[in-house]
Structures are given as C-alpha cells and as structure tokens.
Amino acid sequence: MIIKFKSKDTWVIFGEVDHVEYRKVEFDLKHGGVSSDVIVYEPSDDQPAIEWIGMGFFTKNMNDATEIIACSPIYIMNDQGRTVETI
C-alpha cells in the first residue's frame, strides 16, 4: 500500500505500508502541542487545509509505527499506484 499527500509544494509518499490507521484531529499549526515522535506536515501552498488527519502506519520491516499529522486530501493507493481511498 502507498500513502500520498501534498505538503507545501512537494508530494510526500510512503511506500510499502503494511497497516494504516487514521482519524480526524483538532490541530493548530501555530501552537503545535504534539509529541516529538509525531511528524507534522504543513498544508499545501496551493490548497487550504480541509481537515487535519492523524495517521499511524507500519512500513515493511519496521517494529514501530510512523506517526504523522497531515492535511487532507490524503490518497491511499494500492501497490500499483491506483487510488483506493481518499481521506
């Protein structure tokens, strides 16, 4: 599985994802307030933040989850790059 979203003017892509969990979160970029273990991606410059999504996922051969906060839309894709879900 592949996770893809835009942060600032760059596409962020995580490949070889085995398991993903996500939920909508209340987050204020100016005040932060998240654990140092969580990576926060700023919204795209060309699109306003629709909603903040907190995600945890495992990539191949990882023992600990990667935890991020990013703005929708976030694309969940199969291994061939076809979108199967848009968050």
13-58 confidence digits (pLDDT tens): 999 999 999 999 988 777 777 788 899 998 887 776 679 999 999 9
- Is the Cβ–Cβ distance between 44 and 9 less than 8 Å? yes
State the residue range of the domain holding 68.
2-86
In this prediction the pTM is 0.86
Structural domains in the chain (count): 1
- What's the pLDDT score for residue 40? 92
Q: Which two tokens stand for residue 81?
A: 């790059």
Q: Please classify residue 34 by burial: count the beta carbons closer than 10 Å to its beta carbon, then call 0-12 exposed, 13-18 middle and 19+ buried.
A: middle
Give residue for tokens 């600990």: 64
Q: Which two tokens stand for residue 77?
A: 């894709």
